[in-house]
Structure 1
Amino acid sequence: MNLIPNDPYAQDTHIDAWEKLKQFTDARIAIGRAGCSIPTKAMLEFQLAHAQARDAVYQELDTETLQHKLQSIGLDSLLVQSQAQDKQEYLKRPDFGRLLNEESQQTLHNFNYGKANQYDVCIVIGDGLSALAIEENALAFIHSLKSQIEYEQWSLAPVVIATGSRVALGDEVAERLNTKMLVMLIGERPGLSSPDSMGIYYTWQAKSGCLDSKRNCISNVRPAGLSIPIATQRLMNLMRQSNKLGYSGVNLKDEHEIEQVESSTHLKRLF
């Protein structure tokens, strides 16, 4: 005698009515269902995305390879470290990630000692919360930006590679290198479909203790997000306006029209 009603769920996966919308977003919509649960494929994809996000946070930036690649496109670089001594401390103490350690302070002091000239632009590469994002996007973006900086005849400081870094670490670097315009590239907090997202923070005359309201942010730079050509256009427009007006941040609006960029213009990996 069967005491439990025998009401089996249909074996076929239910197709969601929003299925067609999936082509427009990486968000988890229209995943369907199998009985009263989500399909096994969707569950496995979620678990994979979660693992990729965790790996992005804990991955260490390959600074040696990054320096070699910068050298191959004619750019000198300096390596610095925040006061966070390891990844665990970096995650638990965000304040440590905003300050250079003593050795790095000395490195920048020695480099800039006796130099009266002011650089126009300083690019800081920070691992942030996704070293993967930097390794996947930073070199292609810098290569694109470099040609625009040369066109404007702006002087460029050596690229600074910062490990254990938060956004504000770039302020101290720019101040110590006596730079007018700071471009901070940093790995953004990974989402469950975007472990490779890079953020760009632009600041005019950045100094230690600079408020977030003084920055302009361009986010989600990656192949599946904002393309490198368009990100370069947006940043250069901000930099040109800032150079004329003498400020950046909430008062500096990005109102220019993006030039048409063909979908195939996504820069291929250069290295």
Structure 2
Amino acid sequence: MSNIQHQHTVKEDPWSSLKAFTSARIALGRTGTAIPLKEVLAFKLAHAHARDAVYSRLDNNLLLEELHASLLPVLLLHSSAADRHEYLQRPDKGRRLDQESIATLQAQPDAFMHRDVAIIIADGLSATAINIHAVPFLNHLLPLLKAAGISVAPVCLAEQARVAIGDEIGERLQAKMTLMLIGERPGLSAADGMGAYITFNPRTGNTDEGRNCVSNIRQDGLQYIPAAGKICYLLQESLRLQLSGVALKDNYEDPSLLTA
């Protein structure tokens, strides 16, 4: 029997130097005609993280504790989707509140109504992202809103929710605009991206061209401080111009990127 040894070392990809600039799967190299084993395993692990994020749950106890530490009133709301299975199968139910949540909003005192912005925190497709990033991000944003004179309604913590549920919440709170913080669809390079959607004059039936989106808010993406500055700018412009969406242009200049 011949003694054949297979020695397939990993051959480096010519683009490997570009990996320093992105978390995307590029320049994986090869061993023989295959992807290196460590890259196959990394792909499987990322896929598992993405699936876990989709089925993750909001840590309401932690979020409530952290939000109350910021002296913010918080309302617990829920969409019409009874559970995660229905949420994934029926996107329409994730866009509307259940009856108990409607009653909660209707019972709010006048002092909580007619504010400039209603902030909604929703699980979306990655509660993991919200559990990690929502409150640390708000800790940077809220002082900017206060300095800008933007009044804030009670924070709404919405479960099994999609972006459009913010329209109904904002409408019932009679807020001038909404800021929706929501877990983004997880990918194979990030399972914890948080998106922020700004909608002026929130009304049930609004469509997506009327929103502004700031995405990939996370430590390895758009970090909290520049994200907070950009969103505060967009909220100020939305109030000034009385609009949002494709007509509201992002001309924000990050001070940390400007040279003297």
Class of the TM-score when normalised by the shorter of the 2 chains: over 0.9
Equivalent residue in structure 1 for 2:103, among 106, 112, 115: 106
Equivalent residue in structure 1 for 2:158, among 158, 162, 174: 162
Q: How does the TM-score come out when normalised to structure 2?
A: 0.95
Structure 2 CA distance for aligned equivalents of residues 261 and 132 of structure 1: 30
Say if 1:117 and 1:99 are closer, same or farther in 2 by CA, change over 3 A: closer
Q: Would the aligned equivalents of 1:130 and 1:196 in 2 still touch at CA under 8 Å?
A: yes
Q: Give CA deviations for 1:177-232 in whole Å, capped at 9, x if unaligned.
A: 11012100000000001100000000111111111111000000011111111111
* Counterpart in the other structure of 2:170: 174
Q: Would the aligned equivalents of 1:200 and 1:217 in 2 still touch at CA under 8 Å?
A: yes
* Counterpart in the other structure of 2:76: 79
Q: CA deviation at 1:8?
A: 6.2
Say if 1:67 and 1:117 are closer, same or farther in 2 by CA, change over 3 A: closer
Structure 1 CA distance for aligned equivalents of residues 145 and 183 of structure 2: 23
Q: CA deviation at 1:157?
A: 0.9
Q: Would the aligned equivalents of 1:230 and 1:261 in 2 still touch at CA under 8 Å?
A: no
* Counterpart in the other structure of 1:246: 242
Secondary structure of the residue aligned to 2:28 is coil
Secondary structure of the residue aligned to 2:131 is helix
Secondary structure of the residue aligned to 2:247 is coil
Say if 1:117 and 1:60 are closer, same or farther in 2 by CA, change over 3 A: closer
Q: Would the aligned equivalents of 2:120 and 2:157 in 1 still touch at CA under 8 Å?
A: yes
Structure 2 residue identity aligned to 1:221: I
* Counterpart in the other structure of 2:55: 58
* Counterpart in the other structure of 1:94: 91
Q: CA deviation at 1:153?
A: 2.1
* Counterpart in the other structure of 1:269: none
Q: Give CA deviations for 1:142-161 in whole Å, capped at 9, x if unaligned.
A: 11111011112222111000
Structure 2 CA distance for aligned equivalents of residues 49 and 98 of structure 1: 28
* Counterpart in the other structure of 2:147: 151
Q: CA deviation at 1:242?
A: 1.3
- Say yes or no: does 1:194 pair with 2:190: yes
Structure 1 residue identity aligned to 2:76: L
Say if 1:12 and 1:193 are closer, same or farther in 2 by CA, change over 3 A: same
Gaps of at least 5 residues in structure 1 are 263-271
Q: CA deviation at 1:256?
A: 2.4
* Counterpart in the other structure of 2:30: 33
Taking the TM superposition and a 5 Å limit, the aligned residue runs for 1:228-267 are: 228-260=224-256
Equivalent residue in structure 1 for 2:126, among 124, 127, 130: 130
Q: Give CA deviations for 1:65-85 in whole Å, capped at 9, x if unaligned.
A: 211110011111000000000
Q: Give CA deviations for 1:69-123 in whole Å, capped at 9, x if unaligned.
A: 10011111000000000001000000000000001000110114x5595111110
Gaps of at least 5 residues in structure 2 are none
Q: Would the aligned equivalents of 2:130 and 2:194 in 1 still touch at CA under 8 Å?
A: yes
Runs of at least 4 residues of structure 1 off by over 2 A?
6-11, 114-117
Percentage identity across paired residues of the two chains: 46
Secondary structure of the residue aligned to 1:179 is coil
Secondary structure of the residue aligned to 1:171 is helix
Q: Would the aligned equivalents of 1:129 and 1:188 in 2 still touch at CA under 8 Å?
A: yes
Q: How many residues align?
A: 258
Secondary structure of the residue aligned to 2:8 is coil
